[in-house]
Amino acid sequence: MIEKEDGNFLLLNKPIAWTSFDVVNKLRYLLKTKKIGHAGTLDPLATGLLIICTGKMTKCIDEFQGLEKEYTGKLVLGQTTPSYDLETEPTSSLEISHITNDQIVTAANSFLGKIQQVPPIHSSVKVNGKRAYAFARKGQEVILKPREVEIKEFEITNITKPSVTFRVVCSKGTYIRSLANDLGQTLGVGAHLSELCRTRIGDFQLKNAETLEDIANRISDLRTNNTSVTAM
């Protein structure tokens, strides 16, 4: 926990299968506080850095959200899914043997700079007051408008087809799932995201983050010693 005069924030390594909302609820219970929030959603199947703000530091959430992000991940070529990741089952499979490593790198480089990106239908983007995923899960068609994002770095770090590992540095609002899907479309074979980890938000690094278990144990120790949890 990093303490400020007007509140606290902590760096947390979100576990897989937890939603960002799940994490906030767990910490709300552990810290016995109502004023708490996170600065940037991670999908349930993603892991990595999540900034949690409490007290008056929740006023800084927008500031944290505006910082650039860094991710590492893996995508699978030749298969597409409705959610662009493994939340849903693959719906198509195409031959990829003709795709070369140079083509993959060239395709990734084509996304550098400011681009127009359409969010996944299975996302929390609001459409007519409802989350897009609510429509998608009912099989209802919904059209999402593209938004401008910036891809500052898109490095292909390893290729073992059909898997491709990568590192991305991007602006606020970028969907890495959409980037994986769009890369597959550019190559003409489709793709989906299979792994994702957020490693950095601005200057805040994942290596300095704690797990939920670490935080829970520290809170338990403080309370056992009759020390205020705000001393974290």
Tell me whether the CATH fold assigned to 2-66+203-231 matches the one assigned to 69-201.
yes
CATH superfamily for domain 69-201: Pseudouridine synthase (3.30.2350.10)
pLDDT, tens digit (0-9, with 9 covering 90-100), for 172-204? 999 999 999 999 999 999 999 999 999 999 999
**Residue 6 known to be catalytic:** no
CA separation for the pair 89, 55 (Å, rounded): 40
CATH topology of domain 2-66+203-231: Pseudouridine synthase (3.30.2350)
Q: Where are the domains of the chain?
A: 2-66+203-231, 69-201
**Confidence label for 7 from pLDDT (cuts 50, 70 and 90):** low
Check if the beta carbon of residue 91 is closer than 8 Å to that of residue 81.
yes
pLDDT, tens digit (0-9, with 9 covering 90-100), for 92-123? 899 999 999 999 999 999 999 999 999 888 77
Provide CB contacts within 8 A for 188, sequence distance 6+: 94
Q: Which member of 43, 85, 203, 214 is catalytic? A: 43
Q: Is residue 6 predicted with pLDDT exceeding 70?
A: no
Per-residue pLDDT at 4 = 45
Provide the residue type at 159 as one letter.
Answer: I
| Closest among 73, 10, 21, 78 to 44, alpha carbons compared | 21
